[in-house]
Amino acid sequence: MDDEKSEWYREDLGFSDDWRIDRIEHLSMPLRIRIHISHIDPARCPNCLSESTIIETMVRIFDGPDFGKARCKVIAMIPRVKCKNCGIRDLEPQ
């Protein structure tokens, strides 16, 4: 994948450096973009920021901003972590 394009989409969508773009699909009829993202290790609790253990990964699909006439969907692999201080938490894209 083109690293410059991937970085541009990541920044434009507002994701932190903890997330990477795995794949970008440009589809036509109707014009749309699907962006697949996943979390980069290590996983930290979103509440207390302590290092945590990933116990499972879920898929979430949400609307991203439109790019011109192209509708955007973000397909995110969301890790669920177990924190020794806070219990089980989902890491949401930021």
Task: Say yes or no to pLDDT of 2 above 70.
Answer: no
**CA 21, 88, 64: angle at the middle one, nearest 5?**
30
Q: Please give the structure tokens belonging to residue 82.
A: 């177990």
> For the whole model, what pTM was predicted?
0.81
- Cβ neighbour number for residue 57 with a 10 Å cutoff: 13
What digits encode the pLDDT tens for the residues 14-61? 888 888 889 999 898 889 999 999 988 788 898 999 999 999 999 999
Indicate the residue type of 45. Answer: C
Residue 5 phi, psi dihedral angles, 5° rounding: -65, -45
pLDDT in the model for residue 85? 94
Listed in sequence order, the residues at least 6 apart from 90 whose beta carbon sits closer than 8 Å to its beta carbon are: 46, 58, 78, 79, 80, 81
